[in-house]
C-alpha cells in the first residue's frame, strides 16, 4: 500500500529545505491539496471510519431543511425555469442528494435545475458520482468555468474552513507571521517579521502581547467571486461553517484525526486541517461586490426556524427503537448549543429579488 502521508511529509521537508520556513497557508494548501498525495486528494475523510462527520452525514433532516430553503428562495425569485443549483465542497454527495429528494416535490424546481459541484478531490468526486448516479451533474475544480448565463442558488457547507489562512502574532509592539520550519526532522512553529499589519482598517482593540490574528485571503477571494456572480446572474445561497460572527484575536488552527483533535504539525497527511471561519470578513467581501447579505445566525436557530423539530416529529411517527433514538440524537447534535448549534453559523446571500427568507 502506498504511504501517501510519508510522500507528503517528504515533499514538505524538501520544500522548506529549499525555500526556508513557509506560512501556515502554504503548509495547509500543500498538506491538503498536493496532487495525488495531499490529504483530500488521497483520502475519504468522512464518516465513522474517517476523521470527521459533517451535518449531512449526521441526518437527512439537515439536507431537507437546506433543500426547503433553496426551493423557497427560488420561488421568491420568480421560479426561474433555468438555473444553476451549485454546491461547493459536496463531500460524498449526501447533501445534494437530500436537497434533490426534497426539491423534487416542488413543481418546476428540478425541471430547471442544472446541478454543478466544485470539488478538487478525486476520491470524493468518485463518491459523489456513486451517490448522484441517477442525476446529470457537472463537476468543476473551482468557480472559474461555472456557466454565467443563469441564476445561481447555492450552498457551501464546511467548505470555507478548509481554505488556507495565515496567522500573525503580536510581539514587542510589532506583527510577525507565524511560519512552519523543520528541526531534527520535525515540523515546528517559527516567526518571521513582516511589514503587514493584518488588522489595518479593522475596528479591533489594540492587540496585547502574544495575541494571534488569523487572515484568509483565499476565503475572502472565493466569497467575493461567489458574490460577484450572484450580483451579475442573480440568485441566493447559504454558507454554513464553524466560526465567529465578529473578527477577533485567537488561534483556531486545528487538526482532526479519527474524530479527535490532534496537533496540526503531527500526522501530516493523515489529519484534516482547518480553522474557524471569520464570517465578518466573508460578509465584508460579499458586500464589497454589491451582493445583499441576508444575515448571519447560529445553525441551531436557523434549523429550528425552518421547522426541523416538526420534521423530526414526522420521522418519529414511523420509527422505533434505535432508529427513534438516532433521530433524537441527530436533532440534538445539529441544533443544541453544546453541539453544532452555536459553533456553526449560517450566512445568507441574495441579489436580484426582494425576498423574505426563512431563518434570518
Whole-prediction pTM: 0.95
Query: What pLDDT does 1 receive?
Result: 53
Taking the CA atoms of residue 74, residue 77, residue 82 and residue 84 in that order, the dihedral angle to the nearest 10 degrees is -60
Question: Which residues lie across from 117 on neighbouring strands?
Answer: 87, 139
Query: What pLDDT does 258 receive?
Result: 84
**What is the Cα–Cα distance from 141 to 279, expressed in whole angstroms?**
24
The secondary element (H helix, E strand) that includes residue 335 is: helix 321-335
Query: What pLDDT does 19 receive?
Result: 93
pLDDT digits (tens, 9 = 90+) for 220-243: 999 999 999 999 999 999 999 999
Non-local (6+) Cβ contacts of 118 within 8 A are 86, 87, 88, 89, 90, 139, 140, 141, 142, 143, 146
pLDDT digits (tens, 9 = 90+) for 17-66: 999 999 999 999 999 998 888 888 888 878 777 767 899 999 999 999 99
Query: What pLDDT does 2 receive?
Result: 65
The residue ranges of the chain whose pLDDT is under 70 are 1-2, 51
Other Cβ atoms closer than 10 A to 309: 13
**What is the Cα–Cα distance from 160 to 276, expressed in whole angstroms?**
9
Other Cβ atoms closer than 10 A to 71: 22
Other Cβ atoms closer than 10 A to 348: 22
Query: What pLDDT does 130 receive?
Result: 96
Sign of torsion over alpha carbons 311, 317, 319, 322: positive
Query: What pLDDT does 259 receive?
Result: 83
List the one residue out of 226, 334, 218 whose CA is nearest residue 274. 218
**What is the Cα–Cα distance from 317 to 312, expressed in whole angstroms?**
9
**What is the Cα–Cα distance from 127 to 44, expressed in whole angstroms?**
9
Amino acid at each position: 500500500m502506498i504511504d501517501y502521508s510519508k510522500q507528503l511529509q517528504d515533499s514538505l521537508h524538501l520544500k522548506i529545505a529549499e525555500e526556508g520556513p513557509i506560512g501556515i497557508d502554504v503548509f495547509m494548501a500543500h498538506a491538503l491539496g498536493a496532487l495525488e498525495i495531499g490529504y483530500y486528494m488521497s483520502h475519504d475523510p468522512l464518516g465513522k471510519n474517517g476523521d470527521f462527520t459533517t451535518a449531512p452525514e449526521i441526518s437527512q433532516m439537515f439536507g431537507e431543511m437546506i433543500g426547503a430553503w433553496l426551493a423557497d428562495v427560488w420561488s421568491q425569485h420568480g421560479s426561474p425555469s433555468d438555473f444553476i443549483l451549485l454546491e461547493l465542497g459536496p463531500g460524498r454527495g449526501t447533501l445534494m442528494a437530500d436537497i434533490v429528494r426534497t426539491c423534487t416535490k416542488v413543481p418546476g424546481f428540478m425541471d430547471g435545475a442544472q446541478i454543478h459541484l466544485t470539488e478538487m478531490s478525486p476520491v470524493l468526486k468518485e463518491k459523489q458520482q456513486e451517490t448522484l448516479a441517477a442525476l446529470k451533474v457537472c463537476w468543476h475544480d473551482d468557480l472559474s468555468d461555472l456557466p454565467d448565463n443563469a441564476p445561481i442558488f447555492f450552498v457551501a457547507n464546511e467548505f470555507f474552513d478548509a481554505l488556507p489562512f495565515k496567522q500573525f502574532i503580536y510581539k514587542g509592539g510589532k506583527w510577525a507571521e507565524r511560519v512552519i520550519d523543520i528541526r531534527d526532522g520535525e515540523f515546528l512553529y517559527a516567526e518571521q517579521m513582516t511589514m503587514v499589519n493584518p488588522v489595518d482598517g479593522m475596528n479591533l482593540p489594540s492587540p496585547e502581547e502574544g495575541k494571534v490574528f488569523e487572515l484568509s485571503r483565499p476565503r475572502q477571494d472565493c466569497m467575493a467571486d461567489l458574490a460577484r456572480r450572484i450580483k451579475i446572474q442573480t440568485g441566493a445561497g447559504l454558507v454554513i461553517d464553524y466560526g465567529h460572527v465578529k473578527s477577533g484575536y485567537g488561534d483556531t488552527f486545528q487538526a482532526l484525526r479519527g474524530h479527535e483533535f490532534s496537533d496540526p504539525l503531527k500526522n501530516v497527511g493523515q489529519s484534516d486541517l482547518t480553522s474557524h471561519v471569520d464570517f465578518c470578513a466573508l460578509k465584508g467581501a460579499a458586500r464589497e461586490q454589491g451582493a445583499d447579505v441576508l444575515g448571519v445566525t447560529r445553525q441551531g436557530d436557523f434549523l429550528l426556524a425552518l421547522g426541523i423539530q416538526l420534521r423530526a416529529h414526522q420521522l418519529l411517527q414511523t420509527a422505533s427503537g434505535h432508529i427513534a433514538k438516532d433521530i433524537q440524537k441527530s436533532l440534538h447534535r445539529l441544533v443544541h448549543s453544546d453541539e453544532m448549534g452555536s459553533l456553526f453559523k449560517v450566512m445568507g446571500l441574495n441579489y436580484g429579488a426582494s425576498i423574505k427568507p426563512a431563518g434570518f
